Amino acid sequence: MMILVAGPYRSGTGDDPARIQANVDAMTDTALALFRAGHLPVLGEWYALPLVERAGSTGIGDAVFDEIFHPIARRLVAKCDGVLRIGGRSAGADDMVATARAHGKRVFHALDEIPSAA
């Protein structure tokens, strides 16, 4: 299955780059586990951040960032088989879960909930 990993990005970080990176690392670690289980993991950040930079964003939460960051993840969810929600509070990750449900996609809350790819 192609599964979007949805977790906090900015939430609880105060926009501190090291704390944001820790959130991305947690999502990436989960993506690696999904890959090793035979699935195709994706993160919205993998798609959005290069485009945000190319489009000229000057900082997290500016108009260019907001134009691309969550909208691209919503489009990605529509193409996925499901969403794996990880981590703590996050309006954005909760939005990805709601988007998945609106598209009739599966929502998981732990790796062990995901069927084997075998």
b/e 34-51 (16+ beta carbons within 10 angstroms → b): beebebebbbbbbbbbee
2-111 — its CATH code? 3.40.50.10400
pLDDT digit string (tens) for the chain, length 118 residues: 999 999 999 998 988 999 999 999 999 999 999 999 999 999 999 999 999 999 999 999 999 999 999 999 999 999 999 999 999 999 999 999 999 999 999 999 999 999 988 7
Q: What is this structure's pTM? A: 0.93
